[in-house]
Structure 1
Amino acid sequence: MMKYGIVIFPSKKLQDFANSYRKRYDPHYALIPPHLTLKNAFEADDEKIKDISEKLEELSNHYNPFQLSVYRVSSFQPVNNVIYLKCEPNETLNELHKELHQDFIGEQPEYSFVPHITIGQKLSDDEHSDVYGSLRMLDVNFEETIDRFHLLYQLDNGSWTVYETFRLGRGN
């Protein structure tokens, strides 16, 4: 059994911006590039992942590329001490997220879907309030087109790497 996840990677410009904070505030900094999670980690064997991969291919054909707007720093406190770049919710993101949690991979998400890119996590309460206090003043404004999502898998050292990439809208 391997661990898999489904994510969107933003542009290099947005990743560089996120990483400038992640390297200080996110212990997962070295394990995965900045990303927007569409589906949290799940387990699958080789047989099942082939199946999932085919379904993802099908799914990706039903959606066109879409605009992603990232517009401020926010936090999930008090639920947890995560600081993130908030993404403007949009229909395509919500639909994709919903479909990825229906029949074929199951497992409803623990929390309702808030599209975001984590820049800080696992901070103590004091750290969190200091860091969030200064970061939420940042002027954040990114607009970009998202035209693909990725199925990742986790390596033995805990880092994540791309298993397969799915381009949006090829079926249209």
Structure 2
Amino acid sequence: MAPVTYGIAIFPSKDVQDVANSYRMRYDPRYSLIPPHITLKEQFQASEGEIEEIAAACKKIANEMEPFDIEINRVSSFSPATHTVYLKVEANRSLIHLNEKMHEEPFPVEREHKFVPHITISQELSEDEHSDVYGSLRLSKFELSDTIDRFQLLYQLDDGSWTVYETFKFDKE
């Protein structure tokens, strides 16, 4: 059996998702493939045996985590590397810790990009479209906050969409 593509992400509350989706519907061609999220671990391939070990590691990490708050106050862009505009999630110790744990054994340890906590709101736009969207949104103030108490192990379907394999709720008492 061929390896499956997995990823690990945090899905914020409905309120935060609604704000992100208000832009994504217009500016993100991948809108229908996955809800707004914060990527903790970029996509990776794993066999059935490997994913069982990774799921067990996710459970252990979640059991050691306490819920934590995130803040989103502005948009930013990955330009010139890509024409992606995103809601910037302010980095905090818990979020960075969670991301670092996802890059230790048994997880694949390689990283394609430095961890920049964010929720994508536009991508794959032309340079002019990106300039217009980013130019207007970067003047906007966002005052979003959320409490994070879980993360999801996801897998990619044949049509490119993502679905939850398992949810890991934080359990530190």
What TM-score range do you get, normalising by the shorter chain? Answer: over 0.9
* Structure 1 match to 2:47: 45
Unpaired stretches in structure 2, ≥5 consecutive residues: none
1:140 pairs with 2:107: no
Q: CA RMSD in A?
A: 0.9
* Structure 2 match to 1:15: 17
1:30 aligned counterpart, secondary structure: coil
Q: Which amino acid aligns with 1:23?
A: M
Q: Which amino acid aligns with 1:14?
A: V
1:55 pairs with 2:50: no
Unpaired stretches in structure 1, ≥5 consecutive residues: none
1:152 aligned counterpart, secondary structure: strand
Aligned residue pairs, count: 171
Following superposition, the deviation at residue 106 of structure 1 comes to: 2.2
Q: Which runs of 4+ in 1 moved over 3 A?
A: none
| Identity rate, percent | 53
Deviations 1:28-80 (A, max 9, x none): 10000000000011111111111110111001111111001111011011111
Deviations 1:13-40 (A, max 9, x none): 1101100100111111000000000001
2:98 aligned counterpart, secondary structure: helix
The normalised TM-score by structure 2 is 0.96
2:86 aligned counterpart, secondary structure: strand
